[in-house]
Amino acid sequence: MSPAVRKVVLPVATFVTFIALWQLASVTFEIPVYLMPAPSDIWGGGQGLGLVLFDHALQTLNTIVLGFFCACCVGIPLGVLVSVNRTISEMFYPLIVFFNAIPIIAIAPILVVIFGTDETTRLIIVTLTCFFPIMVATASGMMDTPSEMLDLARVAGASTMVEILTVRLPHAVSFIFSGLRIGVTVAVIGAVVAEFVNANKGLGYLVTSSTAQFAIPTATACVVMLALISVLLYQAVNWIHRGFFAWSIKTDAGD
Amino acid sequence: MTQAPLRDPALTLVARATPPAPKPSAERKEPIIELSHAGVTFETRKGEALTALEDLNLTIYREEIVSLVGPSGCGKSTALRILAGLQPLSSGDFWIGGGKTRQGFSEVAIVFQRPTLLPWRNVLDNVLYPARVLRGRATKEDKARALELLELVGLAEMAKRMPHELSGGMQQRASIARSLILDPKILLMDEPFGALDALTREDLQLDLLEIHARTKKTILLVTHSISEAVLLSDRVAVMSARPGRLQDLIEVDIPKPRGPESGALPAFHEYSRRIRDDIFGPRKRREVQA
């Protein structure tokens, strides 16, 4: 088997076996659906929803992507500021760490009271959940710039701004993408939390509402959908990295 | 008063009689870099003062190659960093080119021990980087000049390659081309061949001699290699460690153009021995005393 084939076949085989065993266990031990739905029940739950499932999924995807985008717009510049200016770093870093330490699930209901029950609040919640890894990754990347590169920029007469744009930020790109990969999966969690506390649409809302009616297969189908969205977005970030910033991916092709 | 008008025509006559182009002795003695009583003191984490460089006096003249040699910690790189504007002085003074403020690589350019090419730009764009920083963009003339320089360092074919596709020696050649892009008067080189293998090193040393013969840059070179210093330099400044200060200044009178055969000259070994004695002499004496 070629390495490329192995990469696909092995995980798929494991996955299929896992599903089969699960199904088998559910049938043989007659596990009640409300305790642990079998894969077939979950499939049935999803089918029962039909296109409605995708409608809700789109709503959630929208919240995730917009919120994640806001987090990038906040996190990357903040990471740059914190890493470049020592005073700003000393002034704001502890505060930012403190805000990040607040459990987002705990303040989500409060945020709903403050900002109202609409999309804005959901976006704020998603942004708050995922800006931190993006900011920290950006700052680490900026500070990781080799001193010789900074010396080069300085002798060439670069201002701080030019230095950031031509040396520090490009060097930080691979770091930033590590932050984005973490950030995008956290954004999914943020969106679900936002929909738990404030929504009449979306997968998070569907999970709470169907659980309340003991429609466990439906709820589980939503969870599976969320996982699929998470994987898809993670891969999308990877594709953007490879497609537009291929130079920043380190290869082991010698010196 | 009556004598003055008589003297002036005489002077102009002399000036006219001298051909303007080849007056090497006069041009060579025009100072272009001056360090006077330069000292640098660092403060360590514990708050102790660490003297990296003490009372360094050195004048470098236009078009000459001067090497700074000495053991690690003698402050030779610090001296170079002062002139590059990367290290403030704790005491003393210096000027380089026209003064202390510089116009990027158009006045003073630097070559580091590592090539320090930006990995996200191709070789041509790396060579153009100083022009982009200084003027915001690279003009057509800049591009033509960059290609010329890449030709000069033997990388004409590599202009569109990315740095990681080049060998270490090629990368360093590209960084030398980059240093020349804005036609600086002065080239500062911080152990430029120190990270290369012995053969590549020899190759690049000869290239540098050729580049110097063609472009007549003033070059200040920091090196660990005594033979490199003798081969390349018009003068060698030997420095001693802790605190770093100038120990000896040697005029290297080996005929030019120099090449691999220069290494076989008796004078070459004479100079090398003198530098070695300068560096290792005091240590031997200490050992004898102990």
What's the pLDDT tens digit per position in B180-196? Answer: 999 888 999 999 998 88
Find the chain B residues whose C-beta atoms sit closer than 8 A to any C-beta of A: 84-86, 102-105, 108-110, 112, 114, 116, 118-120, 129-130, 132-134, 162, 164, 167-168
CA B33 to chain centre: 11
Q: CA separation (Å) from B36 to B85, B107, B245?
A: 16, 20, 12
CA distance B177 to B145: 10
Q: How many CB pairs under 8 A join A and B?
A: 58
User: Which tokens go with B197?
Assistant: 């293998």
Residues 88-117 of A with CB under 8 A from B: none
Q: Are both B36 and B92 inside the same structural domain?
A: yes
CA distance B96 to B106: 13
Say if residue A68's pLDDT is above 80. yes
Task: Name the CATH architecture for the domain at A40-248.
Answer: Orthogonal Bundle (1.10)
Mean pLDDT of all residues belonging to chain A: 90
Max CA separation in chain B (angstroms) = 74
pLDDT of residue B1: 40
pLDDT of residue B10: 39
pLDDT single digits (tens) B4-26: 444 444 343 333 344 444 444 44
What is the span of the domain harbouring residue B205?
30-97+185-252
Q: Are both B88 and B227 inside the same structural domain?
A: yes
- The pLDDT-based confidence of B38 (bands split at 50, 70, 90) is confident
Say if residue A65's pLDDT is above 80. yes
Strands B108-111 and B31-43: unpaired
Q: Are both B173 and B194 inside the same structural domain?
A: no
B45 falls within a domain: yes
B235 falls within a domain: yes
B283 falls within a domain: no
pLDDT of residue B14: 38
B122 falls within a domain: yes
B269 falls within a domain: no
pLDDT of residue A251: 56
Do residue A170 and residue B120 have CB atoms under 8 angstroms apart? yes
CA distance A211 to B14: 106
Do residue A157 and residue B120 have CB atoms under 8 angstroms apart? no
Indicate the range of A6-15, A174-183, A240-249 predicted with least confidence: A240-249
CA-closest candidate to residue B117, choices B150, B74, B70: B150
Number of structural domains found in chain B: 2
Is residue B136 helix, strand or coil? coil
pLDDT of residue A170: 94
- The pLDDT-based confidence of B3 (bands split at 50, 70, 90) is very low
CA distance B224 to B193: 10
Q: Are both B93 and B210 inside the same structural domain?
A: yes
On chain B, the residues whose CB falls within 8 A of the CB of A151 are 84, 86, 110, 112, 116
B21-46 in b/e form (b: 16+ CB < 10 A) is eeeeeeeeeeebbebeebbbeeeeee
pLDDT single digits (tens) B270-286: 888 888 888 887 555 55
B69 falls within a domain: yes
Q: CA separation (Å) from B243 to A238, B75, B224, B226?
A: 52, 8, 18, 21
| DSSP code for B34 | E
- The pLDDT-based confidence of A254 (bands split at 50, 70, 90) is very low
pLDDT of residue A149: 93
Q: Are both B91 and B208 inside the same structural domain?
A: yes
CA distance A226 to A216: 15
Q: What are phi and psi of B162, to 5 degrees?
A: -90, 150
Instruction: Quote ipTM for the complex.
Output: 0.81
Strands B186-190 and B91-96: unpaired
pLDDT single digits (tens) A155-169: 998 888 999 999 999
A175-191 in b/e form (b: 16+ CB < 10 A) is bbbbbbbbbbbbbbbbb
**Which residue in B104, B120, B168 is closest to A156 by CB distance?**
B104
Indicate the range of A47-56, A91-100, B276-285 predicted with least confidence: B276-285
B246 falls within a domain: yes
Residues 145-164 of A with CB under 8 A from B: 146, 148-149, 151-158, 162
CA-closest candidate to residue B164, choices B131, B126, B217: B126
pLDDT of residue A66: 95
Q: Pick from B183, B208, B241: which residue ends a domain?
A: B183
B17 falls within a domain: no
How near does any CA of chain B get to the CA of A215, in Å? Answer: 53
CATH code at B93?
3.40.50.300
* SS3 sequence of B176-232: HHHHHCCCCCEEEEECCCCCCCHHHHHHHHHHHHHHHHHHCCEEEEEECCHHHHHHH
Q: Are both B165 and B216 inside the same structural domain?
A: no
Q: Are both B37 and B87 inside the same structural domain?
A: yes
Q: Pick from B132, B162, B183: which residue ends a domain?
A: B183
Task: Considering only residues A247 and A205, tell me which one the structure prediction assigns the higher pLDDT.
Answer: A205
- The pLDDT-based confidence of B47 (bands split at 50, 70, 90) is confident
